[in-house]
């Protein structure tokens, strides 16, 4: 099993450009998440999907949209990229939304917005 996969691994955008980060998991997990990781800020939740067909905002949703395409796939879209969105983006999944459930992370996408 590949676990959680993300594409692309690296991306450079110009301010105002749009792009979609792709995430897929093959563990039959119900819940999926998008985080951003910034130096000194740790991991901050952007959006999550508790189950197929639902999405909810996390701590830092502004400037992003998500789509839970099916049970396996959860994409993150930047409609008009800004330099403040330069970050490393991690997708994660878990069996469900529950207090004891472990999260499984993808390898990350390093995004630079110039």
Is the Cβ of residue 14 or residue 42 nearer to another protein in the bound state? 42
CB of 80 to another protein, least distance (A): 27
DSSP 101: P
Q: Among the candidate windows 15-23, 44-52, 67-75, 77-85, which touches another protein by CB under 8 A?
A: 44-52
Query: Omega into 8 within 30° of 0, i.e. cis?
Result: yes
CB of 33 to another protein, least distance (A): 8
Q: Among the candidate windows 11-19, 64-72, 79-87, 105-113, which touches another protein by CB under 8 A?
A: 105-113
Number of residues that bind another protein (CB under 8 A): 25
CA distance 53 to 17: 27
DSSP 47-65: EEESSTT--EE-S--TTEE
């Amino acid at each position: 099993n590949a676990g959680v996969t993300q594409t692309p691994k690296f991306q450079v955008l110009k301010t105002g450009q749009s792009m979609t980060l792709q995430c897929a998991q093959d563990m039959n997990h119900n819940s999926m998440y998008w985080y951003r990781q910034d130096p000194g800020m740790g991991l901050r939740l952007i959006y999550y999907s508790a189950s197929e067909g639902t999405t909810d905002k996390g701590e830092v949703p502004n400037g992003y949209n998500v789509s839970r395409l099916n049970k396996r796939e959860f994409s993150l879209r930047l409609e008009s990229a800004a330099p403040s969105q330069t970050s490393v983006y991690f997708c994660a999944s878990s069996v469900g939304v529950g207090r004891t459930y472990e999260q499984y992370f993808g390898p990350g996408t390093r995004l630079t917005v110039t």
